[in-house]
C-alpha cells in the first residue's frame, strides 16, 4: 500500500507540473483578470496580484503601469499620464470584450506595491512594463519585460497604442476612443449661439459699415501699397530693417533690384500712398469744388505735389539702379 501511495503522489506531482496544467492555470488567471478588466479597466493591483498576473508560464500579455499618484510624491508626469492610460485601457478592453488580443491592462500604485517597486529596483515613476507571453502561440524567447520610453515628450494614449501594436503582431488592436467631452460641446454650442445672436443684433449697425465703398477702397489701397512696395519680399527673405554704410551712418536704400531693406519698403509705400492720394484728389475732390479760382489753385497744388513726389520716386529708382535713365526736377 505504501508503494501504491508513493506512485500516486509521484503521478499527481507530474500532473501538476505538466504543461497542460500550466496552460490551464494561465488561462484561468487570464479569465479572472479579464473579467475584472471588463468591469473596471485598468485593473488595480497590489503586490500579491502583481505577482499573480505576471506569473510564468502565461499565454497572455500584461501591461502594467507602475505609478505614484499620491500628492506627497509630487510626480507630475504620473498625474498627467494617468488619464491617457485610463483612456487607452478602457478603449482596448471595450473593443476586445472577448479577449482575443490576450492583453491585460493594469495599474500598480506605489502606495499599494512598495515591495514590487523595491524588487524591480525602480527609483522613478511612471514606468510602463510590457510582459510578453511565455507560452502559447504568441510566446517570445525573452522573458524580461519591455519598458516604454517616457522621455520623448508629452505622452498620449495614441502614442502608447502605436508602441503596443508594434509589439503585439498578429492580434486585434482596438483603436483608442476618447469619451465625448460634453462640457466642450455645450460650451461650443453656447458660444456659437451667442455669436449668432450678437451678429443678428449688430447687423443694422455693422452692415452699413461693411457696405461702405470708401472703406473697401481704403482697405484695397492699403493692401496694394503693402504688396507693391515689397512687404511680402521682406517677410519671405527676413531682411534687416536698416544696415550701416561703413562710415558710422545708416543706409536706407540697398543697391540692386534683388535686395532691399525694411525701411526702404516703408519709404516707397509712403511715396506711393502720397501719389495715390494726389491722383484721387485730382479725380474726385477737385471737380466738386464750386469756386473756379479755388478749383484752379487746388489743381495746381495737387499737380505740383504729384510732380515733386514722382521726381523723388524716380531718384529712388536711380539709387537702386545707377543706369536708370529717367529723372525729373527737382530731384535730378
pLDDT tens-digit series, residues 52-111: 999 988 999 999 999 999 988 889 999 999 999 999 999 999 999 998 999 999 999 999
CATH number of the domain where residue 72 is located: 3.40.30.10
Residue 160 resides in a domain = yes
Residues 108 and 197 in one domain: no
- Give yes or no for a contact between 107 and 65, defined as CB atoms under 8 angstroms apart: yes
Residue 247 CA to residue 254 CA, distance in Å, equals: 15
Statement to judge: residues 252 and 275 lie in one domain: yes
User: Of 135, 119, 174, which is closest to residue 55 (Cα–Cα)?
Assistant: 135
Are residues 161 and 225 located together in one domain of the fold?
Answer: no
- Looking at the structure, tell me whether residues 89 and 130 fall in a common domain: yes
The model's confidence at residue 280, banded by pLDDT at 50, 70 and 90, is confident
Average pLDDT, the chain: 85
Query: In angstroms, rounded to a whole number, what is the distance separating the alpha carbons of residues 321 and 276?
Result: 24
Tell me, yes or no, whether 217 lies in a domain: yes
Q: What whole-number distance in Å separates Cα of residue 79 and Cα of residue 150?
A: 13
Q: Is residue 6 part of a domain?
A: no
82 and 205 together in one domain: no
Q: CA torsion 298→301→303→304, rounded to 10°?
A: 170
Question: Residues 264, 162: one domain?
Answer: no
246 confidence band (pLDDT: 50, 70, 90): confident
60 within some domain: yes
Tell whether 233 and 310 lie within a shared domain: yes
Cell numbers that stand for 258 in this block: 534683388
In this structure, are 138 and 160 located in the same domain? yes
56 within a domain of the structure (yes/no): yes
Same domain, 188 and 97: no
Tens digit of each residue's pLDDT (9 = 90 or more) over 5-17: 443 444 333 433 4
pLDDT in tens, 101-119: 999 999 999 999 999 999 9
**Pairing label, strands 127-131, 146-147:** antiparallel
Is residue 112 domain-resident?
A: yes
Domain assignment of residue 68, yes or no: yes
47 and 148 inside one domain: yes
Residue 244's SS3 state is strand
- The verdict on 203 and 159 lying in the same domain is no
Establish if 243 belongs to a structural domain: yes
- The reply to whether 197 and 240 lie within a common domain is no
CB 140 within 8 A of CB 171: no
Burial tier of 306 (Cβ tally within 10 Å: 0-12, 13-18, 19+): middle
Under a CB-based contact definition with an 8 Å cutoff, are residues 131 and 61 in contact? yes
* Total count of domains within the chain: 3
Q: Which domain holds residue 185?
A: 181-209
Amino acid at each position: 500500500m505504501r508503494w501504491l501511495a508513493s506512485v500516486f503522489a509521484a503521478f499527481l506531482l507530474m500532473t501538476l507540473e505538466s504543461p497542460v496544467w500550466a496552460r490551464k492555470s494561465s488561462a484561468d488567471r487570464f479569465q479572472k483578470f479579464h473579467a475584472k478588466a471588463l468591469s473596471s479597466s485598468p485593473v488595480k493591483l497590489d503586490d500579491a496580484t502583481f505577482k499573480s498576473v505576471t506569473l510564468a508560464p502565461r499565454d497572455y500579455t500584461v501591461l502594467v503601469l507602475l505609478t505614484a499618484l499620491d500628492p506627497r510624491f509630487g510626480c507630475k508626469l504620473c498625474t498627467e499620464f494617468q488619464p491617457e492610460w485610463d483612456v487607452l485601457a478602457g478603449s482596448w478592453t471595450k473593443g476586445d470584450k472577448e479577449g482575443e488580443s490576450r492583453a491585460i491592462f493594469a495599474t500598480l500604485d506605489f502606495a499599494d506595491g512598495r515591495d514590487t517597486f523595491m524588487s524591480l529596483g525602480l527609483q522613478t515613476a511612471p514606468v510602463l512594463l510590457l510582459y510578453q507571453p511565455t507560452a502559447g502561440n504568441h510566446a517570445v524567447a525573452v522573458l524580461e519585460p519591455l519598458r516604454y520610453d517616457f522621455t520623448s515628450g508629452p505622452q498620449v494614449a495614441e502614442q502608447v497604442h502605436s508602441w503596443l501594436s508594434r509589439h503585439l503582431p498578429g492580434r486585434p488592436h482596438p483603436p483608442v476612443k476618447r469619451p465625448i467631452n460634453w462640457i466642450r460641446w455645450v460650451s461650443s454650442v453656447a458660444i456659437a449661439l451667442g455669436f449668432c445672436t450678437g451678429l443678428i443684433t449688430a447687423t443694422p449697425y455693422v452692415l452699413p459699415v461693411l457696405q461702405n465703398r470708401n472703406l473697401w477702397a481704403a482697405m484695397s489701397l492699403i493692401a496694394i501699397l503693402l504688396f507693391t512696395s515689397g512687404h511680402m519680399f521682406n517677410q519671405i527673405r527676413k531682411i534687416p530693417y536698416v544696415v550701416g554704410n561703413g562710415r558710422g551712418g545708416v543706409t536706407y536704400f540697398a543697391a540692386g533690384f534683388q535686395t532691399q531693406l525694411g525701411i526702404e519698403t516703408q519709404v516707397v509705400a509712403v511715396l506711393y500712398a502720397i501719389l495715390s492720394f494726389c491722383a484721387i484728389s485730382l479725380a474726385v475732390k477737385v471737380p466738386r469744388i464750386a469756386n473756379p479760382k479755388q478749383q484752379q489753385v487746388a489743381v495746381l497744388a495737387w499737380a505740383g505735389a504729384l510732380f515733386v513726389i514722382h521726381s523723388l520716386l524716380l531718384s529712388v529708382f536711380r539709387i537702386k539702379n545707377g543706369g536708370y535713365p529717367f529723372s525729373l526736377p527737382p530731384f535730378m
